[in-house]
Chains A and B, each alone.
Chain A
Amino acid sequence: MLLFFKPFRLFLSALCAQSAPSQLSMGLAAGILVGLVPKGNLLAIMLGMMLAATRVNLGTAATAIICCSLASPLFDPVSHLLGSWLLNQPSLCVFWTWLYNQPVVPWTAFNNSVVLGSFVTGLLFLYPAHRLSQPLFEKYSEVVARWVRKFWLTRALMGAEWATRVGAVD
């Protein structure tokens, strides 16, 4: 039985390894950025890879990605307006043209108004999301950990040692 649970335990502990409040808030902000950008293009893949390469909390990031992906169509009108405005700026036209003629870049679909708009929106939200969520993580992470520890499934999957660590986050 323990052998069966061990891989899950390892995976979950890896997801929650970077569990400092700043890492959690960074994970949330990066997750929002990746989640807002429409999938199916190289930009989304690259952002995902970059997120994975940083020392942010992947659990929080994954949760943010899922939530923002579901909600992102609601922001499409705003993203479209912003993206269109940027793409049609005469001062940026030379830059966009140069970018469009570079290898691989067309696969990013940056010339799509929603892709660019949502990407820029995500970038704009990046720092505020991090700054605003950090105090919340500091305040509530211990409460959440205590609440989570009550469940037998958490204990079974993560083990008492790890649950203690979660509770010891400062």
Chain B
Amino acid sequence: MRWIWLIPRLILVGLIWSAFVFGLDPWLRHVTIQTAQSATGAKADIGSFTTGLFPPILSVRNVTLAGNGSLGTNLLEFDGLECRLGGHPLLRKSFVIEEARLTGVRFGTSRNDDGQLDLLPETDSSEPSWLTEKLKHVVDEWLDGLIVDVHQQLDPNTLETCRTGQALSIKWKQRIEVLRQELKSFKLRVERLQDHMQMAKQLRSVAQVQRYLQLASEGELLLNEANQLQVRIQRLVPEVRTDLVVLNQARQNDQRQIVQRIRHLKPNPHRITESLIGRKMYHQLHQTMSWLKFVSNYRKEIRRQTTVVRHRGQDVQFPVLNPTPRFLCRRMEVSGELFVDQQLTPFHAVLSDVSSEPALLGRPSVFRLSTASEEPLQLTIRHDHTTDIPHTDILVKFRQSQPQILRVGREEIAVFEAGLANLDWLVGIQLSGTNVDGTISLDSELQYAKLTSQKMNPLLRDTVADAFRSVKTVDATIRLTGTIDAPSVELESAFGEDVASKLQVVFAREAEELKVALRNRVEQLATENRQRLSAEFNSRYKDLVADHQVNLQEIQGAQQILASVRSDPKALFRQVSGSGILSKQKEDRIQRQLEQTDKLLQGLGGGIFR
């Protein structure tokens, strides 16, 4: 009877004990994997998960977290995590990690499978919109721009001589064309007059006389207009002479100004900075911002995943005498290897005061990382969530000893290459909620600078190369404001200003050498313009005068005929009466009218002169 009572009790105790010993660890491992997978969106593997109660410890080995969207690559991998939990807080349901050690941390290692979950979420674009927008402006066109600037200064089309010559050419072309059109219409009128004269011969005598009288008036009008036209044509010559003087003045102005223009030629410093180091700076910024966003999202996701969701009932919180956060990691030492400037570098880091309730703890979380290599990296992150709005300070100091090559431009136009050494990066960023404010600075030595161009004037090419050779340091600062999703980015650099100033100095020096060549060029342009203008004008003027002479001769011939008809009315009457066309009565009446007219004219003359 005793055994029959004892056996089931022992079996029950054994089952419960077995559940703790053999079931708890696999269950915790499963929960941790699910949480990690939800947080990263990719596969998570845990080699072993061991817990111990006396003393309370937690040990995790061979953990790999795949990267979401990075096929076959681990986001993070570590060999082991050993945590020593606080016993007393654990009795009160608080997980306080007194000390932890994370060893063998590596990033970006390869894995056997693709590491993606079955439902692959859509990945964001590799570059955010603001960076794409920025990089649009950082194209390899600075050198093109410089060449265009210099070319514009020397472009004949921009010289006053050339512009004046072109304007005069157009002006005279239009003026002569107007006169030509007037001559053309005038010629038509002369031809019509001649036609009317021919047609008048067919008329009867009186009508013929009347028609001739009308045509004589028209002929006189045409002659007057022809004379006016001749005067206008003759006025062209002095006007052209005046314009040639203006052209000569333009030539003199060009010769005086062109050297000054080269001397004052100064490329845009901002464009120089953006073209040469903008891309590198913006990519550094992009990396920093991506990392910040990743950490921020990961932290939110972890917080969401670890938040206890009560499906049944409601937990009532009672005051605790010695309040302790539900989760607290007092200190965690991290060691491993990370890629710094594409080199695997050992690092050591310390993470302290990570808590689920920072306000209760009253201290910010601090992460300090350092590498001891030829390219030292120092990273400090201070995350303060003790207030309503979390505040994060990030400070990174990094030196790149490996020479970096900057290459801008296009082979078909011009390529500039520079070698940078000892690049000192300093990143200081403050995050307050979603607002970001900070700077990313670069300070480096310029080892060499080389410019190759097939299109550029050799003299100017050497000039630009000289300007770069005299620059010894390259520095730039990106100023970051706005929000973490849409930051406002501004690139500042004394380097661009330095290069621009040196280019200006070199251009000024070289301008003296260019002086003679440029003056000759202006002189040549002016002569060409003058000759072209003169030749064009002479040719058109001659044609115009010749056309006018023909018209004039024709109108003068017609006018002589008509003038002879109108000058003696009596002779015209005699010619008509002799022909027997008029009756006797009409002839007498005309005779009387003529006599009365003579008397009237004589009397009128006497009246006027009396």
Q: Which A residues contact B (CB, under 8 angstroms)?
A: 10-11, 13-15, 17-18, 38, 45, 48-49, 52-53, 55, 58, 73, 76, 79-80, 83-84, 87-88, 93, 96-97, 100-101, 103-104, 106-107, 109, 111-115, 117
Contact = CB atoms under 8 A, between A and B. Distances in A.
Contacts of A112: 310, 312-316
A115 B313 contact: yes
B125 interface: no
B319 A38 contact: no
A49 B8 CA distance: 11
Interface in B78-100: 88, 91-93
Contacts of A45: 16
B16 A97 contact: no
B533 to A, nearest CB: 102
A17 B7 CA distance: 10
A11 B7 contact: yes
Interface string B299-333: 00000000000101111111111000000000000
Contacts of A109: 315
Nearest to A110: B316
A84 B317 CA distance: 12
A50 B399 CA distance: 66
A111 B8 contact: no
Contacts of A113: 313-316
B320 A100 contact: yes
A73 B312 CA distance: 8
Nearest to A83: B313
A163 B11 CA distance: 23
A83 B318 CA distance: 14
Contact of A58 (B8, B315, B320): B8
Contact of B312 (A14, A55, A114): A114
Category for how many chain B residues contact A: 20 to 34
Nearest to A51: B12
Given A11-B8, A101-B321, A48 B310 contact: no
A53 B13 CA distance: 10
Contacts of A100: 318, 320
B459 interface: no
B5 A88 contact: no
A117 B521 CA distance: 103
A125 B66 CA distance: 52
A56 B153 CA distance: 107
B93 A106 contact: yes
22 contacts: A11-B11, A13-B4, A14-B4, A15-B8, A17-B8, A52-B8, A52-B9, A52-B13, A76-B313, A97-B319, A101-B320, A103-B88, A103-B91, A106-B93, A111-B316, A111-B317, A111-B318, A112-B313, A112-B315, A114-B313, A115-B313, A117-B313
Interface-centre pick from B12, B13, B320 (highest chain A CB count, 10 A): B12
Q: Which are the 7 A-B pairs with shortest beta-carbon distances? A: A114-B313, A103-B91, A106-B93, A17-B4, A113-B313, A100-B318, A52-B12
Contacts of B314: 80, 84, 112-114
Nearest to A76: B312
Given A48-B16, A103-B88, A112-B310, A88 B316 contact: yes
Contact of A53 (B7, B9, B92, B310): B9
A79 B16 CA distance: 27
B8 A48 contact: no
A117 B312 CA distance: 11
B339 to A, nearest CB: 43
B1 interface: yes
A97 B4 contact: no
Nearest to B6: A14
A48 B12 contact: yes
Contacts of B312: 38, 73, 76, 80, 112, 114
Interface string B106-138: 000000000000000000000000000000000
A53 B579 CA distance: 169
Contacts of A13: 4
B317 to A, nearest CB: 7
B575 to A, nearest CB: 140
Given A48-B16, A101-B320, A106-B92, A111 B7 contact: no
Given A58-B8, A111-B317, A113-B316, 6 more contacts: A10-B7, A14-B4, A48-B12, A49-B12, A96-B316, A111-B315
Nearest to A114: B313
Contacts of B320: 100-101
A115 B4 CA distance: 33
B7 A14 contact: yes
A73 B91 CA distance: 29
Contacts of B16: 45, 48-49
A87 B316 contact: yes
Interface-centre pick from B4, B5, B317, B318 (highest chain A CB count, 10 A): B318
Contacts of B5: 14, 17-18, 55
B10 to A, nearest CB: 9
A134 B519 CA distance: 126
Nearest to A58: B8
Interface in B502-556: none
A26 to B, nearest CB: 14
Contacts of A38: 312-313
Contacts of A93: 318
A113 B317 CA distance: 11
A156 B321 CA distance: 60
B313 A80 contact: yes
Contacts of A48: 12, 16
A112 B1 CA distance: 40
A45 B15 CA distance: 12
Given A11-B7, A17-B5, A97-B318, A79 B12 contact: no
A142 B321 CA distance: 57
Contacts of B313: 38, 76, 79-80, 83, 112-115, 117
A122 B557 CA distance: 141
Nearest to B317: A111
Contacts of A103: 88, 91-92
A45 B27 CA distance: 17
Contacts of B11: 11, 14
B9 to A, nearest CB: 5
Contact of B8 (A14, A80, A87, A117): A14
